[in-house]
Amino acid sequence: MLFQKKIRTAYIIIAVLMELMIALASSVYLKVNSISFLSVILTALIAIGPIVYFIIKHRADEMK
Amino acid sequence: MTMLKYTFLWMMILVSMGFFLVGVYKNIVSKIAHILWVNDPGPTGTTGRDTRVRLPFASKETIFREAIVQKRIENRSAFLWFRHLLIAFGFVSLFVVAQLYALFIKVYPIEYFVIGTGRGYLKFSLELTGLVLFVGLTLGLIHRIMYAEQEKTFVDLRLLLLLWFVVATGFMTEALRFIIEPHDAFIEYSFVAAPVARATAAFPWQWHTLHTIMWTTHAILIAFFFACIPFTKFVHIFVAPFGRSITMGQDTSRLKREKIAEGLL
């Protein structure tokens, strides 16, 4: 299970970083000190939960 | 209003990316991992790679054959090959130009691209690549409808329609923007949206409302399209060269023959 765990961990890190980076990139379009930017950051944080949960729960040998 | 639109857009991008990441893990990463690393039930609990299976690092030849020349489609028919080339190259180049547009105008603003001629060239490139994609999709739709019985296993009509509407709403959003902003400094570079805008501007419609509705529809469709990619046939965008790299390994065909031979004995 070692390699599968490594792949899973690496993927979780990449997925979390991507969500956070996209949320931070929105600062180009939205004012940082605003409700809009806060909403986007909160959306990213809320989205990270189900993503991580699914990846942890998904069996690597599950083909369907 | 603009701030609200962008907040909505970024929130949707994040939700869409969430589905995309989950789908990529479920349908690409974990499957490739399962093919490559077979569980070892030994006491150490470690996993060993099945060395008989090739790693799915697409070779240059496979990428060239599957992603650029698209040999398998060429073998089916010249029309289908031409249609797919328009869609594939239109989509990839539109995506690249859209990223460059955001990069040079918003993320790292460069004067030449923000207020200079560079912006016009980017706008022209967006319209040209969008048009190539639109023509390819329209040809694909017509062919899929005409040859519904033969094509239904190869082409998902709903997905084709989804991408067609993404591009169509993109052009319509730009045309509606030109109606409400007729003095846009770069309007002459838009050789599709600007003529449409000029032809329809005379109608006494609520152009501001229509533009907001069209912009929102376009944004929702794009987000839905990206969320769909790993769960539908669109997944071939990423995995076609990888899948062929696994199945086209010399060892794989030899092992397959051995397995069949064993069954015969």
DSSP-based helix, strand, coil % in chain B, nearest 5: 80, 0, 20
User: Which DSSP category does B49 fall into?
Assistant: E
Please name the residue that has the structure tokens 């090959």: B81
The string of pLDDT tens digits covering residues B132-165 is: 999 999 999 999 999 888 888 888 899 999 999 9
Inform me whether the pLDDT recorded for B254 exceeds 80: no
Partners of residue B11 in chain A, C-beta under 8 Å: 39-40, 43
Looking at CA atoms only, how far is residue A9 from chain B in angstroms?
Answer: 12
Distances (CA, A) of B39 to B28, B44, B98: 18, 11, 43
Partners of residue A44 in chain B, C-beta under 8 Å: 14
Partners of residue A23 in chain B, C-beta under 8 Å: 10, 14
Residues in A lying within 8 Å of B, measured between beta carbons: 1-4, 7, 11, 15, 18-19, 22-23, 25-26, 28-31, 34, 36, 39-40, 43-44, 47, 50-51, 54-55, 58-63
Non-local (6+) Cβ contacts of A21 within 8 A are: none
Name all domains of chain B by residue range, CATH numbers in brackets. Answer: 58-264 (1.20.950)
Question: CA-to-CA distance for B174 and B182, rounded, in angstroms?
Answer: 11
The burial class, CB within 10 Å (0-12 / 13-18 / 19+), for B260 is exposed
Q: How many alpha carbons lie under 13 Å from residue A20 in its C-beta half-sphere?
A: 7
Q: For all residues of chain B together, what is the average pLDDT?
A: 84
Q: What is the pTM of this model?
A: 0.83
* pLDDT score at B62: 73
Residues in B lying within 8 Å of A, measured between beta carbons: 3-4, 6-7, 10-11, 13-15, 17-18, 21-22, 25-26, 29-31, 33-34, 37, 39, 45-47, 49, 102, 106-107
The mean pLDDT value for B85-108 works out to: 92
Domain ranges of chain A: 9-57
**What is the ipTM score, two decimals?**
0.91
The string of pLDDT tens digits covering residues A5-58 is: 788 899 999 999 999 999 999 888 888 888 999 999 999 999 999 999 999 988
The string of pLDDT tens digits covering residues B208-248 is: 999 999 999 999 999 999 999 999 988 888 877 666 655 55
Cβ distance A61 to B49 less than 8 Å, yes or no, reads: no
Inform me whether the pLDDT recorded for A3 exceeds 90: no
